[in-house]
Amino acid sequence: MADLIAQLDEGNPRALPRLLSLVERRDPAGMAALAALYPRTGKAAVVGITGAPGAGKSTLVNALAHAARAAEMRVAILAIDPSSPVSGGAVLGDRIRMMDLHADPGVFIRSVASKGRTGGLAPAAAAMVHCLDAAGYPLILLETVGAGQDSIDIDVLARTVIVVQAPGFGDGVQAIKAGILEIGDILVVNKADLPGARELARTLRGSLDHPEPGEWEVPVLLTDAASGEGVPAVLDAVLQHGRWLAQSGEIAQRLRVAASAEVLDGVRNELQRRLNAATAGSLDQVISDVAARRTPPEDAVNAILASLPGLGGAASDQRGG
Amino acid sequence: MADLIAQLDEGNPRALPRLLSLVERRDPAGMAALAALYPRTGKAAVVGITGAPGAGKSTLVNALAHAARAAEMRVAILAIDPSSPVSGGAVLGDRIRMMDLHADPGVFIRSVASKGRTGGLAPAAAAMVHCLDAAGYPLILLETVGAGQDSIDIDVLARTVIVVQAPGFGDGVQAIKAGILEIGDILVVNKADLPGARELARTLRGSLDHPEPGEWEVPVLLTDAASGEGVPAVLDAVLQHGRWLAQSGEIAQRLRVAASAEVLDGVRNELQRRLNAATAGSLDQVISDVAARRTPPEDAVNAILASLPGLGGAASDQRGG
C-alpha cells in the first residue's frame, strides 16, 4: 500500500489504474491507500455532465477535455454507468470515440459501473473520484451514461453540474419535466447549428429563477461540441463557478453534502447488505404475505429485524395484549 | 384489545378514534388490535388527493365526501400533514371548513402528522389507513396538506390518485415540472369557472401518454368544487378506476407495492432509530471531519456501524495494509 502511493507520487502510469481497480472492488489494500490519500483530496474541480440521451454528452465531455488540454490542464474523465452492475463492455464502446485522447498522457479515462444496491450511486464512484483527485488531476469530468433518476445523484459527487440539452426534445419541456434543470450550475444547448437551438436556449433562460445578489447566475451556453465551437466558453464557466464556490464559501456546504451522502450511503449499503444476507430468498414471500393480508406489516418488520444478526429480537416482543 | 375490536364491531362511535390514537403512537395494545384486524383490510377504495397549494384540494375532498353521501356511501377522510412532526393544531384549522360533514355519522374525519424520520410517509399514516379500512369505510379519502416531494409518496398509500390543478399555475408547466402528473389516475382541473381552465385541461390532456389496450386511460375532469359542479363525475371515475384495478388484476400489484413500501420503510425507520440513538450528537462532527478531509469516509462508515448495538465491529476490521 505504501508502494502504491510511492508509485503514484513518482508518476508511474500503472499506479492510478491499479489503485482504481482495487478501490472499485473495495479491496482492503486499496481502501487503506485511499484512506492515506484522502487528506489530499477536495481540491479538484469535479464536474458532472448530465442530460438527455442524444444531447451529445459524450461529445461535449470529449470537447471539454480537448479545451482543457489546449489550456494545459491535465484532465481525468470518469464515465459512470448506473444501469450496469459490472463495468467494462457497454461503456467501453462509447469510449472508442475518445481514442484521440487516449494517446495524450495528460488525459486519464476510466469507466465505472455504479448500480448501487439501494439506489443512488455506488460507493465505488465516490471513492474513485477521491483517487483521481488525490492523483492531482485539477479537472475531473464525470459523465453519466443513460439518463433518468440516476443522473440526478451526480449533483452529490460533482462540485459543478453541467446539464446538456439539444433541440428536438419538446422545446425544453421534457427537460423541465425530468427535473434535471434544477441541479445545473451551467446549462448547455448543444447542436447549436440545428433549428430550434436558440429558441430552446430562450426557453431554458426563461425557466431559471433570478439569482439573489451573491448567488450564482446559471449561464445558458450554446455549443457545437462536434466542432468544438463554444466549448472554451463552457470551460471558462466551469472555472468561474469554481472560483465562485471558493469565494462565496458555498464550497464548504457542497463538500459537507457530499461527505454526508457518501457516509450515510455507505452505512445504508452495509446495513442493506446485512439485511439482504439475512432475508435472502424469504423477502418476496414476506411481502406477498403482507399484501395478501396473511401477515400484519408490524409482524413482518419485526421478523426481518429479528433475522438481522446481532439485532435479533430487540423489537419483536414489544406488543402487549 | 379484544374489547376494542368488539366495540368497533358493535359500532361504538368512540372505538375507532381510540384505536387510531393508540395506533398513531404505536401503543402495543393498538398495534395488537391492528394486527388482529389486518386480515379484514385491502377492500376499501383508498383515494389520494394531491396537487398544488391553492388548487382547492380541501374543497374537492369536502365535495367528494358530499357526493359519496348523496350516493349513500360511508366515507372516511384522513388529512396527512407531512410538514409537522405532531398532529393537531395546524391541520384542525383546515378541517373547520368541514364542520358541515362533522354532523353526519356516515362521515369520519381525522388528521395525522406524518413527518417520517427518514423521509417518506411515517408508518402511522399507513397503519391508520388500515384501521379505517378495517372499520368498514368503503371510501377513504387521503388529503396531503402542503405540496412538494412528500405528496408523491401518497401513491404508495392510495389505490387511486387524484391530482388537482387550477388555472393560474403557468398553464400546467409547473405541474409537469413538479412531476406529480405521472402519479395521477385521475386529473382534475378545479375552479373551472376561472379563465384558462379549459386551456389547462387541454395542456394536461396533451401531456398524457396514450394508453395501450387494457391500460387505464387517465381522465381529465373539470370541476367547481366550491359549488359541487362536476364532482359526481370525479366520484364515478374513482369507482370506475376501482373496477379497472380489480378486473385488470392491477390491484394485486398496487397492494404488493404498498406492502413492500410499508414493511421496508418500517425496517428502515427502526434501523434509523437505532442509528440515531447510537450516533446522537456525534454524527454532525463525523460528517464535518469527513468534509474537512480529517477522517476518510470508510473510517466514518465503520465507526458509525461499530456504534450500533449488536452490530459493533463487524465491518471495522476488514482493512488490510
ipTM of the complex: 0.79
Write down the pLDDT at residue B272: 76
Q: What is residue B70's predicted lDDT score, i.e. its pLDDT?
A: 95
Mutation target to probe the B interface, by most B beta carbons within 10 A, among A149, A271, A307 is: A271
| pLDDT at site B314 | 40
d(C-alpha A28, C-alpha A25), whole Å: 9
**Cβ-Cβ contacts under 8 Å, A176 against chain B:** 173, 176-177
Distance separating alpha carbons of residues A215 and A207, to the nearest angstrom: 17
Residue A142 has pLDDT above 60, yes or no: yes
- Residue B15's region, left for phi above 0, alpha for psi from -120 to 50, else beta, is alpha
In chain A, positions 143-202, which contact chain B (CB-CB < 8 Å)? 173, 176-177, 179
CATH architecture of A41-248: 3-Layer(aba) Sandwich (3.40)
**Residue B164 pLDDT more than 80?**
yes
pLDDT at A261 over 80: yes
Task: Read off the pLDDT of each residue in B101-119 and give the average, rounded to a whole number.
Answer: 72
Range of weakest confidence among A189-198, B7-16, B146-155, B176-185: B146-155
> What's domain B41-249's architecture?
3-Layer(aba) Sandwich (3.40)
Q: How far apart are CA B109 and CA B101, in angstroms?
A: 8
CB contacts of A259 in chain B (<8 Å) are: 287-288, 290-291, 297
Residue of A nearest to B43 (CA): A293
Q: Is the dihedral of CA A257, A258, A263, A268 positive or negative?
A: positive
Q: In terms of pLDDT, which residue wins out, A120 or B232? A: B232
- Choice between B20 and B91, residue whose per-residue pLDDT is larger: B20
Is B310's CB within 8 Å of A315's CB?
A: no
User: Over the Cα atoms of chain B, what is R_g?
Assistant: 22
pLDDT of residue A11: 86
CB pairs under 8 A between A and B: 158
CA gap B305, A264 in Å, rounded: 10
* B266 residue type, one letter: G
Q: Is the pLDDT of residue B91 over 50?
A: no
| Residue A281 at interface with chain B, using a CB cutoff of 8 Å | no
Closest partner CB to A297 (pick from B263, B311, B315):
B263
pLDDT beyond 80 at A37: yes
CB atoms under 10 Å from CB of A133, counted, come to 21
What pLDDT, on the 0 to 100 scale, is given for residue A175? 60
Window B:87-126, CB contacts with A under 8 Å: 123, 126
pLDDT, one tens digit per residue, over B193-217 is 999 899 999 988 988 888 899 999 9
- Would you state the pLDDT for residue B182? 79
Contacts A177 to B, Cβ<8 Å: 176-177, 179
**Predicted local confidence at residue A252, as pLDDT:** 92
| Alpha-helical runs (H) found in A27-119 | 28-37, 57-70, 89-95, 99-102
| Chain-chain contact of A1 with B29 (C-beta, under 8 angstroms) | no
| Chain A interface includes B28 (CB < 8 A) | yes
Instruction: Single out the residue of B273, B23, B79 nearest to residue A305, CA to CA.
Output: B273
Instruction: Find which of A139-148, A233-242, B54-63 is predicted with most confidence, using mean pLDDT.
Output: A233-242
Q: Which residues of B fall within a CB distance of 8 Å from A258?
A: 291
B102, three cell numbers: 362533522
Give rounded-to-5 percent helix, strand, coil for chain A: 50, 15, 35
A82-86, B244-248, B300-304 — which one is most confidently predicted on average? B244-248
Which residues in A lie closer than 8 A to residue B297 (C-beta atoms)? 38, 123, 126-127, 130, 259, 262-263, 266
Say whether pLDDT at B62 is over 50.
Answer: yes
Provide the grid cell at B275. 442509528
Q: Tell me, what amino acid is at B221?
A: L
- Of B298 and B152, the structure prediction assigns the larger pLDDT to B298
Taking the CA of residue A3 and the nearest CA in chain B, the distance in Å comes to 11
State yes or no: pLDDT of A113 exceeds 90: no
- So what's the pLDDT on residue B173? 59
| Cα angle: A303, vertex A305, A309; to 5 degrees | 115
Contact B301 A32 (CB under 8 A): no
Q: What is the rounded CA–CA span in Å between residue B34 and residue B22? A: 10
Q: Give residue-wise pLDDT tens across range A265-316.
A: 888 778 877 777 777 778 889 999 999 999 999 999 988 888 776 543 343 3
- Residue A137 pLDDT > 70, yes or no? yes
pLDDT at B313: 36
Q: Is A296 on the interface with B (CB under 8 A)?
A: yes
Residue A55's pLDDT is what? 85
Q: Which residue has the higher pLDDT, B164 or B53?
A: B164
**Which residue on chain A is closest to B127 by alpha carbon?**
A297
Q: How far is B194 from chain A (nearest CA, A)?
A: 25
C-alpha distances in Å from residue A254, one per residue of A156, B206, B292: 8, 39, 11
Q: How confident is the model at residue A159 (pLDDT cuts 50, 70, 90)?
A: very high
CB contact under 8 A, A293 and B42: yes
Query: What is the residue-averaged pLDDT of chain B?
Result: 82
**Helix, strand and coil in chain B, % to nearest 5:** 50, 15, 35
Residue B312 has pLDDT above 80, yes or no: no
pLDDT at B172 over 70: no
- In A, minimum Cα distance to B42 occurs at A293
Which CA distances in Å does B37 have to B32, B91, B132, B194, B250?
9, 27, 10, 46, 24
A32 to B260: CB separation less than 8 angstroms, yes or no: no
Q: Edge-to-edge strand order for the sheet containing A75-81? A: A107-113, A75-81, A139-144, A45-51, A160-165, A186-189, A220-222
More confident residue, A153 or A39: A39
B262 and A CB contact within 8 Å: yes
Q: Is B31 in CB contact (< 8 Å) with chain A?
A: yes
- B1 contact residues in A (CB cutoff 8 A): 320-321
Percentage above 90 pLDDT, chain A: 49
Taking the C-alpha atoms of residue A215 and residue A206, their distance in angstroms, rounded to an integer, is 18
The answer to whether residue B263 neighbours chain A at the CB level (below 8 Å) is yes
Q: Please report the beta strands in chain A, taking only residues with DSSP state E, as ranges in sequence order.
A: 45-51, 75-81, 107-113, 139-144, 160-165, 186-189, 220-222
Distance, in Å, from the CA atom of A186 to the CA atom of A50, rounded to the nearest integer, reads 11
Distance from CA of B5 to the nearest CA of A (A): 12
Cell match 508502494: residue? A3
Q: For cell 482492503, what's the residue?
A: A28
Q: What is the pLDDT of residues B6-39, one digit of tens each?
A: 999 998 989 999 999 999 888 999 999 999 999 9
Is the confidence at residue B119, as pLDDT, over 50? no
- Specify whether the CB–CB gap between B246 and B159 falls below 8 A: no
Most confident among A233-247, B156-170, B287-301 (mean pLDDT): A233-247
Structure confidence at residue A145 (pLDDT): 66
Give the pLDDT of residue A180.
67
**B314 part of contact set with chain A, CB < 8 Å:** yes
* Cβ-based contacts of B306 with chain A (< 8 Å): none
A262 vs B contacts (CB less than 8 Å): 290, 297
Contact (CB<8Å) A315/B255: no
Give B59's contacts (C-beta < 8 A, 6+ positions apart). Answer: B97, B190, B225, B226
Provide the chain A residues 34-53 that lie in CB contact (below 8 A) with chain B. 34-35, 38-42
Query: So what's the pLDDT on residue B175?
Result: 60
Instruction: Check: CB of residue B143 under 8 Å from CB of residue B111.
Output: no
Interchain CB contact of B254 with A (< 8 Å): no
Given a cut of 80, is residue B88 above it in pLDDT?
Answer: no
pLDDT-based confidence at A95, cuts 50/70/90? low
Confidence of residue B111 (pLDDT cuts 50, 70, 90): confident
Identity of residue B36: A
Cα separation, A274 vs B218, in Å, equals: 41
CB contact under 8 A, A294 and B39: yes
pLDDT value of position B208:
87
Cell of B300: 466514518
Residue of chain A with shortest Cα separation from B307: A267
B176: pLDDT confidence band, cut at 50, 70 and 90?
low
Q: What is the pLDDT of residue B95?
A: 53
